[in-house]
Structure 1
Amino acid sequence: MKLRQKILLLAVAPLALAMFGIALTVRYQATELARHERVLVEAAYLQSKETELRHYVELAQSAIAPMVRSGRADAATRDAAMQALARLDYGQDGYFFLYDLQGRNLMHPRQPELVGQDLWSLRDPQGALTIQRLIAAARAGGGSVRYMWKKPSSQQVAPKLGYVVAVPEWNWMLGTGIYLDDVERTLRRLDARAETDIRETMAWIGVIAAISILLVAASGLALNVSEHREADAKLRQLAQRVVQSQEEERARLSRELHDGISQLLVSVKLLLETAANRLRLAPPPEGASVAPVLGMALIRLDTVFNEVRRVARNLRPALLDDLGLFAALEHLAREMQEGSGLRITVSRTGTPRELADEQATALFRIAQEALTNVERHAHANQVTLVLAFDADATRLTVQDDGAGFDVARMQHDPRRGIGLRNLRERVAALGGEFDIVSEPGATRLSAAVPAVRAGAALPDPATTIAAQPAPRRDASGNTES
């Protein structure tokens, strides 16, 4: 595949995926919005109807209140109250009904065949005990109940919202209701309209996506690929530099192991062999002559141990694992000061917390690279390192008073600034931020990694060192590493 085709694919594919993701998100959000709108409309309608039904029931109660409060409970008085309620209707399917609290129907103006029947065990098509639920709501002080009932105007079972109250003086349940099939039709129309709007929105998104992809494709075909070739050259050079650095590091370790540790080990071996030969050949009184040789072997062995520690410390400082990043930075500053004329100040702000191993290593390597660059190129006298534990990030700042350099030119020059680009990419891989500002007399490098979790405050390094037990020593008197 040619470079232009790759660029075109890399430009079009993310755009297409983004537009597809936007379309899915818009459809989901629109569907959720329509669902919420339906729920709100239904709830508002039912609440208004419940209030209306309560007012109707209160009106019916006021119509029979004089007869109820009269204290008479004879059949004539009750029949008069029933007739008054039967005459109260509203609309085509609005009426009042009466039951006693044991479930027997006393009055039903639209279904007179139910009068006198015991409907306590009546169930609707969904299996719910309709009359028992109504009586329970009435006994609880009055309330609304949704159930299924035959609609007089259509003779079809339809959802209904009923509101009932108790008339305890006569052991009655008085109620009325409104059928909700019209509400269901209205809600279905809302759903259909919402679905139509969603389809139209998806069509518009598709048109916009197609136009955008065509524009990107046309732009990609006309794009000059020189910048991409330059980027490819930088990447190749970076890869070569990484490989070269690895090879140089391997060569350095190989030389140190060969020229330092290996020679010392051979010398110790020869000395020990000489001591063994003397012990084997010399008479017992003369065995004392072996002691100086063995002493020299032990001295050489101490040198071997120190050399091993030095190599290990250069690979990764033990302080970074034992006492944390701040102690390792202090040790690094002391070593750098001893080998150069720099004055290095290390300070810390905020409440210390534990860092992930990758974060601590990255910040330490950044400080190491920065101090090395200052020593080699900045011609500075004073360097300040600040480790700040902010609420949302851990920030390392390195500032010197050196000659400075052109940051933009360094970043765009493929032959220079490899180390800074490596640092930037290393911080970016951890989700952090890297920034460098330079001018004559002041260069400031800042690296921040996010606070992955809230840890307990770390003890002060000086206190930790004082509280540690004395180091153990091996049989030769050397400190165990």
Structure 2
Amino acid sequence: MQLKYKIVALGILPLILAVAIISALVIFQNQRLGEQQAQLIEDSILASKRAELKNYVEMAMSALTPLYESGQDDEHTKQMVLKELQKLSFGINGYFFVYDHNGRSLMHPRQSGLVGRDLWDMTDPHGLPVIQALLNSAQNGDGFQHYAWEKPSTGQVTDKLAYVVMLDRWGWMLGTGIYLEDVERATQQARQEVARGIHTTMLAIGGVALIAVLLVFACGLTLNASEHRLADKKLQGLTQRIVNLQEEERSRLSRELHDGISQVLVSIKFQFELASLELEAGSDKGQDILRKGIDRLADAIGEVRTISHDLRPSLLDTLGLAAAVTQLVTEFELRSGLSVHYENGLGDIQLVDGAPVALFRILQEALTNIERHADARSVTIELQGDARQVRLSVCDDGVGFKINQLESIQGGIGLRNIRERVDHFNGQFSLSSVPGRSELVVTLPKQLRAAPLLSRAHS
């Protein structure tokens, strides 16, 4: 996967994960709050229903109290009570019912077919023995009982809340009930509102997440484009510098060939022509002129070797870095007249491809700068190696320089090119300078294989 896709993925995937977690938490929290709200609504409605039922039963008791407390327990009095209760009703489905303690229906104004029947074992669709539960609630409980019963107005079985009391002297159970459809509608409406709220919240979170993902994606594309432009700019600058270095090297070779070898060869040509004329004339001067021409030819050959050595020393390919550095140090000491202390601890270590050339060119550039600018008297060069790395150190006692200004120096390899050579091999480079001591230290790993420079710059 390319870097740009990794950046976008690292930006988007955590965002998507965070949005998913937040969405799950929001859904869970809203559902929990919705259930709490529905339960509160249900409890509130049921509380009002219970109070309403108790009021109805108390009203019925107040109506039958004169007869019940008269002390007359004959059948006629009981029938009068049942007739009075049968007349009492509230709403379409509000009525009173009476059962004896054995579960036989004594009065039911909406379902007359149940009157006189023994309903002790009758159960609702949930398997609840309704009459037994009502009698148990009236005798031992708070008088309230939930069960399912057929609603007279619709003929459908619906949840119902009843309140019952016992007329102990007669062994009767008197009660009434309210159907709970409105409770179900209220709780269902609360749950639907919660579901709509969750849906709206999820749409909002999704919209925000989409905008955030698009922003991250756009930022990733912008960053990628910026990095590409920067990489292309660096690549163009590097290419231009390589071209400039090639042109400078060609110009230097052209000057050396024209001002050095070319002049020597022309002089040799004239000497050979003069020697030929003298020899044809039988003069002894021809031999002397010919010998001088041969000496000049030897100088030309030496000049060619010098140029070839500057381009790439043959010892670097034949005997290795240590021998090439030794020759370079010897030539520098003879040419500059400086006192050079050279320590070679490299041994027979084999370096990665290109590393010997890089170290040789870095040392060559450092010695050239010392000779031209340092005004030094002595130079210390150390080339050390072990199983992990190779270390080159160049130290002089010159006037020093300002490191932050060295970047602007043009020509030669330059500090930036030295750093690029070191970075090419994933090495380390340090430079320090104060009056009286300047030191350049380069460390290259022994085993690391270098990546192509252009591909590194482009990536």
| TM interval, short-chain normalised | 0.3 to 0.5
Higher-Rg structure is 2
Question: Scaled by the length of structure 2, what TM-score is found?
Answer: 0.48
